[in-house]
Amino acid sequence: MKPIGPLMWEHRLIEQMVALLRGEIDRITSKNTVNVILVEQAVDFFRTYADRTHHGKEEEILFRDLAQKTMSPEHRNIMDELVREHTHGRELVRKLVEAKDLYVNGYAETLPHIARELKALVDFYPGHIEKEDKRFFFPCLGYFTRAEQDRMLEEFHSFDRNMIHEKYRTVVENFLGKKVLRPAQSA
């Protein structure tokens, strides 16, 4: 398997969440109500799965390794764009949380803001995913040997194995207001 395989599979799940949120936007605009639990779960999905897990593998492994290669100006520009887009995606989620929190705290007039922020997210991801899938991932494989690709794939798997621990350690740390001891990393 190529290291871009898991990244592209993750895109398919992100696309399904985007489709689900399109339905929620329709519900908000037609029924003037929001499923707050769905929005909260979507925020967790985008923060943990799409950003920390998926974008984490891209930025901390794939892009890190690509930065060590002599890349074409086109591919380097696309990689830089993708990093900026990841930052933009984080900002979109932050704005969604802000709108949702206002709504939950009794500001019903912010309902259209939730719809607007959801729309911004669902408009953003398809183009971002298409850029990675069709213009970036496949050409970038050419910069790596088979052995480098295999090592990267194993690093992706290790990254994923650690994510569940990172997520819930952060939950505990947020409630305690301090860092929790981390077990020693296994080799």
pLDDT digits (tens, 9 = 90+) for 114-159: 999 999 999 999 999 999 999 999 999 999 999 999 999 999 999 9
Identity of the amino acid at 90: R
- Region class of 53: left (phi > 0), else alpha (psi between -120 and 50), else beta: alpha
Question: Can you give the pLDDT at residue 145?
Answer: 97
Task: Give domain status of residue 184, yes or no.
Answer: no
List the domain range (segments joined by +) for residue 145: 4-176
Task: Give domain status of residue 140, yes or no.
Answer: yes
Task: Give domain status of residue 63, yes or no.
Answer: yes
The 10s digit of each residue's pLDDT in 10-19 is 999 999 999 9
Task: Give domain status of residue 19, yes or no.
Answer: yes
DSSP string computed for the chain: --THHHHHHHHHHHHHHHHHHHHHHHHHHHHS---HHHHHHHHHIIIIIIIIIIIHHIIIIIHHHHHTS---HHHHHHHHHHHHHHHHHHHHHHHHHHHHHHHHTT-GGGHHHHHHHHHHHHHHHHHHHHIIIIIIHHHHHTTS-HHHHHHHHHHHHHHHHHHHHHHHHHHHHHHHTSPPPPPPPP-
CATH number at residue 18: 1.20.120.520
Task: Give domain status of residue 187, yes or no.
Answer: no
Question: Can you give the pLDDT at residue 187?
Answer: 44
Task: Give domain status of residue 170, yes or no.
Answer: yes
pTM comes to: 0.90
Say how many domains are in the chain. 1
Task: Give domain status of residue 74, yes or no.
Answer: yes
Task: Give domain status of residue 185, yes or no.
Answer: no
Average pLDDT, integer, range 89-105: 97
